[in-house]
Structure 1
């Protein structure tokens, strides 16, 4: 199944969409392996024309490269996925990634090497490890900031800098902005207090969006975790968290950030609803493309 409106060949593409159906570490409700095709399916009802930007999605040179089949060796999979996405970036196309669990975002960040990660998410995802696994989906923002220790050892919070293990040379970001976070462990909130992290509570996201005036010529990567939405709007996700964002608040944030992006993903959609989460993810991804193309 091809993403609707993704109508050009690879060598003509300005945007290359790739599915990453990773479902190795999802907690509570698995099913993200079905996310990419589910988003494609529920995006099929949307009109091609966007009045706001006066453009047709099918004219924006989007290519659907299909899925990168997942396997359970997550580190190896991320290496392979990031290489696939980097090939698009090298060709001056913007990678669009459909998850799959949120862990795949680190593959997108490594492929595009942005300065800033902006993520719409209910969770901080700043754990250094979860159940002993530093590549759990609850750790993805931490990996995008701090990388993975080169020896695979956990980087203990509070350790002296000189005693911390070296990290590997895979790209990380300089700053993270988490929009809509409403839960996290004490250690995550402690990491979030550092100057390279900004957390915007759900009730403040609309104001943040209105006041957003760019990133001072820095590149961004935008990650749309569908659980950033209130589960009343998008119940088809693994770890639902009430008191979240409305679809319109997410849309407005995506429209603001997308023009500055070198990559975009939509993740954490599963098959546990009637299509609400997939429909929202597909619509937000299209909004990102319309907004990026209109500005660039």
Structure 2
């Protein structure tokens, strides 16, 4: 039986700081994913449509209000109830909290692999506890994850270091980074990729570019190490306002395809 993976677009950036624009991302990531400029082959040898299904639920109609968290959680729960695995297109990173909350209700405490330039552990960024700079504080304080490993971090201030210590977060900073240092995590595994974890030379279309980041190849090497069952994933924080020749949309689409292939591959392992 083929693994079914379902895309959900979450076109919201109401919890972004500094710049908005990530709400425009989901349709553009889809356009790059299905574009005839490439094909649907994945690096593990699988092909979309042949070895696994990649269905699309379209974009959720969000209100740009706190009620959106409930709408997001309900949509994810519906995907899981259908027997599929949710693969979410952001939008800003705030949406990871309600997605993880919905998955926790089914699977219990998760293990999370988080790729980002920023740890997103602020207790209350700019008086907004739902900020895109705070989702992992909300996740960890609620006990939704038993383990959180963060890769690509290069903006760790004192407050976030304190938060990481408080919640036992495993931070793998960019200084002296090697993919081989990233742990092979146990399941159930959730993977969250903020595109600003990648160096802006390869992914310029983000709101908070931070030099000295991961290459796409390094991100793929990190994913390739993971053997656990993946019960959900997201690709977030693409901001088309700052993209160049669709470069970041193409990167996002590549990551969506490879995440889907990883979900299918690891599901087949049992």
Same fold (TM over 0.5): yes
- Alpha-carbon distance in structure 1 between the residues aligned to 2:62 and 2:156: 28
- What does residue range 233-272 of structure 1 map to in structure 2 within 5 Å? 233-257=202-226, 259-271=228-240, 272=242
* Structure 1 residue 258, shift from structure 2 partner: 6.9
Pairing partner for 2:243 from 273, 278, 287? 273
User: Are 1:40 and 2:30 counterparts?
Assistant: yes
Stretch of structure 1 that moved more, 198-207 or 250-259:
250-259
* CA separation of 1:129 and 1:214: change in aligned 2, threshold 3 A: closer
| Counterpart among 69, 86, 102 of residue 111 in structure 1 | 102
Mapped to 1, the partners of 2:227 and 2:113 lie a distance apart of 10
Find the counterpart in structure 2 of residue 166 from structure 1. none
1: distance between equivalents of 2:188 and 2:137? 19
What is the match of residue 136 of structure 2? 141
- Asked whether 1:285 is paired with 2:256, we answer yes
Q: Structure 1 residues 206 and 53 mapped into 2: Cα distance closer, same or farther (>3 Å)?
A: closer
1:30 equivalent to 2:32? Answer no
User: For residues 88 and 287 of structure 1, what CA distance do their matches in structure 2 show?
Assistant: 20
The TM-score normalised by the length of structure 1 is 0.81
2:150 aligned with 1:178, yes or no?
Answer: yes
Q: Secondary structure at the match of 1:19?
A: strand
- 2: CA distance between counterparts of 1:207 and 1:56? 26
- Tell me what 2:177 maps to: 204
Q: Deviations over 1:258-288 (max 9, x none)?
A: 7431101000001111222221111011111
CA radius of gyration, larger in: 1
* Partner residue, 1:8: none
Contact 2:197 2:213 in 1 (8 A): yes
- Spell out the pairing of 1:127-166 with structure 2 (5 A cutoff): 127-147=122-142
Structure 1 unpaired stretches of 5+ = 1-11, 148-170
Q: How many residue pairs align between the two structures? A: 256
Q: Is the 8 A contact 1:255 1:288 kept in 2?
A: no
Tell me the residue number matched to 1:232: 201
Q: Residue 252 of structure 1: SS of its match in structure 2?
A: helix
Q: Distance in 2 between matches of 1:26 and 1:235?
A: 17
Change over 3 Å in CA distance of 1:214–1:132 after alignment to 2: closer
Look up the match of 2:57.
Answer: 65
Residues 11 and 25, structure 2, Cα contact 8 Å, conserved in 1: yes
1:101 pairs with 74, 92, 99, which one?
Answer: 92
